[in-house]
Amino acid sequence: LVVQTFSKSRALAGLRGGFAIGQRPLIEALERVKDSFNSYPLGRAAQAGATAAIEDEAWFEATRGKIIASRAKLTSELEKRGFEVLPSQANFVFARHPGHAGQTLAAKLRERAVIVRHFAKPRIADFLRITIGTDAECAKLVAALDEVL
């Protein structure tokens, strides 16, 4: 079963759309669950937007290319500052700094109006989940890290 939302891949988080591709029994099971508590039915305008997003492959590829380039640049900048960055093919990186607790870094970044996600779970407590934003947003993160580290 392959499931994809349009939140990041098509820059349509507010649309609440996506798709699933899979064998018929899996799709039927999804439809049963969806029909039992679907709190986000897609109206005609949202369906038209989702269709247009799928059909505009050139825009998708250009946007995807920008995210890939920004992710590579941000990974490099984090590594220059001593971060361990796990390999990523997503629109975010998972990184930790050996000299700083994840919770402390997240709090210090928040004080500088930079929001990253932190999970207080034993195996990942020192990691930050950093969404790949625009180049300007990534530069703001790096500048804030330079103040904190």
Q: How many domains does the chain have?
A: 2
Same domain, 87 and 130: yes
Same domain, 140 and 73: yes
Same domain, 13 and 29: yes
Where are the extended beta strands (E) located within the chain? Answer: 2-5, 18-21, 84-85, 92-96, 117-118, 127-131
Same domain, 34 and 48: yes
Same domain, 69 and 22: no
- d(Cα 42, Cα 110) in Å, to the nearest integer? 34
Q: How confident is the model at residue 40, as a pLDDT?
A: 66
Query: Looking at the whole model, is its pTM more than 0.85?
Result: no
Q: Provide the pLDDT confidence category of residue 39 given band limits of 50, 70 and 90.
A: low
* Mean pLDDT value of segment 43-61: 91
Q: Provide the pLDDT confidence category of residue 106 given band limits of 50, 70 and 90.
A: very high
